[in-house]
Structure 1
Amino acid sequence: MISLDNFYALIIGISNYQLIPKLPLTVCRDAQDIYNLLINPLACGYSTDNVQFLLNEQATLSAFSQSLLDLAQRTTKNSTLLIYFSGYGVQLNKGSSNLNYLLPVDVELTSETTLVQTAISTHQFTEALQKISASKTVIIFDCYHSQDIKSDDLTFKMGLSEQYYNQLKQKQGRVIITSARRNEQSQILPDNSNSLFVKHLLNGLQGEAIATGGIIRILDLFNYVQSKVIGDNEKQRPIIKVEIEENFPLAKSPQKQESKPLSLELPMDEFRYDVFISYRHQLPDKTWVRKTLLPWLEERGFRVCIDYKDFRLGQHLIKEMERAVEQSRYTLSILSPAYLESNFTDLENVLAEHLGLETSQRRLLAIIRTECTPRLGMRSRLMLDMTDDDDFEMNMERLAYELQQPASN
């Protein structure tokens, strides 16, 4: 089991603003519940000493700034850091400029001068983050709780700008998550004690998200949360911005999912196959696909399309490739140097990519079986690294989870 001694968190929740309109009490309940779960030794397993918690009156400009400074002093290059902010995050349009701010509990909006003096600009926030050594950082912005706000001659748009999110993620090892898109609100469904986003975030951290080896990894957690939020309310879509080379651990899972048998819950759609395997027909790729990958998938109930069993005799090969791609929810490319040299395998994944663009769906998944450098269109995707056989079961659980998701972006 991984040690979480070098994992840190800063959790901020503000609903009871002193000088501007208050936000729903759910905002603070969300932050409180995230904090409680993080420090629970039977759940996420963070050390209490490593988690800072600022709630309502505690979340002043001074305390917010000091917490960021403390993280800069305590973290190291090997640290993992989670920052969760729930409160007002706003944009102020000034001429051609678009200024972004995080608002502490004691912010004043009587003028642009008081705003600058009492809020944390995203420039200041970015500078503070640059002083933090942690090589893996997750920042969750839950800033979509109300409509735009006005104060005297100033009008603020709710949420931070897309441009800022893109700028903020421009550092290796950084993940930016927002609870909703710019034009959406963070929903609170009837009879729910938490917002929709945090409800599923908490469920994911409590073991509902895939957790191979007893560890919850950041991309697995986000995939779970996003699919559940959209499934409950199509008017809210969480967004992720990443600059990472690995799906790194974020927390312990309270469940030992490695001993839990896989239970298939496949989408109800029109696809004949769950996955079409695209691979190079030469050793060692051929042997690994047919003797290892295929049996594992079929034993667990997946409907797999593979050439030597499902391509019809006497048909044109390219037409059979097209049929396999169209009738499969996903095309799974098994990448290796030999795969990249083949025009036929390249055609298969190009067909899947093009079909995905036409239908606005995610139709192509990729495994790196042997170290190689795919073309740019493939490198832009998150791929599953299966070069190490010691991680086979863990990686196959991740693959199985993805194959059960609807073919949507």
Structure 2
Amino acid sequence: MTSLDDTHALVVGIADYERFPALPAAVRADARAMRDVLTDPDHGGYPAARVTLLLDQEATRDAITSALHRLAGAARPGSTVLLYFSGHAIGNFLFPIDADPRRLPRTAISGGSLGATLEAVPATDVLVILDCCHSAGAGPDASFFKRLASGRAIMAASREDELSYVLPGHAHSLFTEHLLAGLRGGVTGGDGLIRVLDLFEFVQPRVTRDQPAQHPVFKARLEQNFPIARHAAAPAPAPSDGFPYDAYISYADRTSDADWVWEVLVPRLEREGLRLAVSGASGDPGVPHIVNAERGIRAAKRTVIVLSPTYLADNTADFENVLAQSLGVREGAYRVLPILIVPTDDLPVRLELLTTLDLADPRRAPRDFVRLIEALRAPLPRR
């Protein structure tokens, strides 16, 4: 079993293609962020000298091929190797910056040639991460896994007939956004190691939740759930308080409120590594909502209530915030953390007395978002 004592990575991001449509700037941001998280001693733990970053014009076919051969030469039994590629792909080909649509076999990187190169890498564990449209069809073929010993895996952003999305206003592609969140602490183990299957199980449902037309794919030949990165940062304080979740999100499940919760609030908090239970989306299927709500509220350190006129008119939301406040009174703690997303009058007295973070005012929202994150990381306030 590897212990991440000898790690190597190649990270490629291509947006400004010469002969293909340009991709969003998020592609370059994805690659830079992957390099940064891998070389962060509190997260990836890869030595910076062993992580190669190729962006746009640097990422020619020859440069990528040469970097892969250097990986093969530097790795040894016991090594861990990671290849991350963000760019165009179609069919069985990954496209370097100089790929020519008229001569793809000679100018692109085929899955067969990539598989042959990876077959020559003597590392114990190899992970290939592909964030591109149709990426499940762009990696090494099935025979690659049949020929190799265990310890080879591919994590693809989408099925071979699907696109890979960048959501409006987001700095990263959807797949890599959740990948980074997992590597930054969303996936943690008691031994301080992030393992490949745990990382995929973190990423896949979040991607498909945010974009139902995108389904990440995992292909592997494994005998063990091998570690791919470290997570040496101090854990959030909540586990020492005995809470499985940092927050239970209570909101009105109506279009405008729900859109804001799922498109803004939840992604932002999960990028910060916070553990969330969300009203209506957590708990056991087939169990009454009020039962799941009570379980989620009890298991969360704080209940974040998303205030709006719609929320105040919602009976389910009213039940949730009353329950959270009642638990707080019994325990001598301040369980409820209100945030305002639409200007709201006539708050109930029990809520009006609480300090509310104002995310409806664009002048205050950036500062109050930071205050929200800090409050969720802090110990549970007590009387």
| C-alpha spacing 1:235/1:160, structure 2 compared with 1 (3 Å) | closer
Instruction: State the 1:8 CA deviation.
Output: 0.9
* Cα deviation 1:317-354 (Å, max 9, x = unaligned): xxxxxxxxxxxxxxxxxxxxxxxxxxxxxxxxxxxxxx
Q: In structure 1, the residue corresponding to 2:169 is in which secondary structure?
A: coil
1:251 partner letter? A
Q: Which residue of 2 aligns with 1:65?
A: 65
Matches within 5 A, 1:8-27: 8-27=8-27
User: Quick one: percent identity of the two aligned structures?
Assistant: 34
| C-alpha spacing 1:258/1:213, structure 2 compared with 1 (3 Å) | farther
* Cα deviation 1:67-97 (Å, max 9, x = unaligned): 1110111000111111111112222xxxxxx
For the Cα contact (< 8 Å) 1:179–1:186, is it kept in 2?
yes
Q: Does 1:78 align with 2:78?
A: yes
Unpaired runs of 5+ residues, structure 1, are 92-99, 145-157, 273-299, 302-409
| C-alpha spacing 1:212/1:169, structure 2 compared with 1 (3 Å) | farther
Q: Which residue of 2 aligns with 1:28?
A: 28
* Cα deviation 1:30-87 (Å, max 9, x = unaligned): 1111111111122211101111111111101111110111011100011111111111
Q: Which residue of 2 aligns with 1:131?
A: 120
Q: Which residue of 1 aligns with 2:201?
A: 223
Normalising to structure 2: TM-score of the pair? 0.60
Q: Which residue of 1 aligns with 2:223?
A: 245
Give, in whole Å, the separation in 2 of the partners of 1:10 and 1:167: 23
Give, in whole Å, the separation in 2 of the partners of 1:206 and 1:173: 23
Residue 169 of structure 1 is aligned with which of 125, 145, 148? 145
1:130 partner letter? E
Q: Which residue of 2 aligns with 1:296?
A: none
Instruction: State the 1:271 CA deviation.
Output: 4.4
Instruction: State the 1:165 CA deviation.
Output: 4.5
Q: Does 1:236 align with 2:214?
A: yes
User: Which is worse superposed, 209-218 or 50-59?
Assistant: 209-218
For the Cα contact (< 8 Å) 1:206–1:254, is it kept in 2?
no
Matches within 5 A, 1:117-196: 117-144=106-133, 158-159=134-135, 161=137, 164-170=140-146, 171=148, 172-196=150-174
| C-alpha spacing 1:60/1:240, structure 2 compared with 1 (3 Å) | same
Give, in whole Å, the separation in 2 of the partners of 1:40 and 1:27: 20
Instruction: State the 1:3 CA deviation.
Output: 5.6
For the Cα contact (< 8 Å) 1:165–1:241, is it kept in 2?
no
Q: Name the count of aligned residue pairs.
A: 249
Give, in whole Å, the separation in 1 of the partners of 2:88 and 2:60: 13
* Cα deviation 1:354-387 (Å, max 9, x = unaligned): xxxxxxxxxxxxxxxxxxxxxxxxxxxxxxxxxx
Q: In structure 2, the residue corresponding to 1:222 is in which secondary structure?
A: helix
* RMSD, aligned CA: 2.3
| C-alpha spacing 1:180/1:160, structure 2 compared with 1 (3 Å) | closer
Instruction: State the 1:237 CA deviation.
Output: 1.2
Q: Which residue of 2 aligns with 1:155?
A: none
1:214 partner letter? G
2:185 partner letter? G
* Cα deviation 1:254-308 (Å, max 9, x = unaligned): 4444982451545252149xxxxxxxxxxxxxxxxxxxxxxxxxxx98xxxxxxx
For the Cα contact (< 8 Å) 2:4–2:227, is it kept in 1?
no
| C-alpha spacing 1:164/1:5, structure 2 compared with 1 (3 Å) | closer
| C-alpha spacing 1:165/1:212, structure 2 compared with 1 (3 Å) | farther
1:263 partner letter? P
Q: Which residue of 1 aligns with 2:254?
A: none
For the Cα contact (< 8 Å) 1:169–1:176, is it kept in 2?
no
Q: Which residue of 2 aligns with 1:306?
A: none
Give, in whole Å, the separation in 1 of the partners of 2:210 and 2:192: 27
Give, in whole Å, the separation in 2 of the partners of 1:255 and 1:269: 34
Give, in whole Å, the separation in 1 of the partners of 2:177 and 2:47: 23
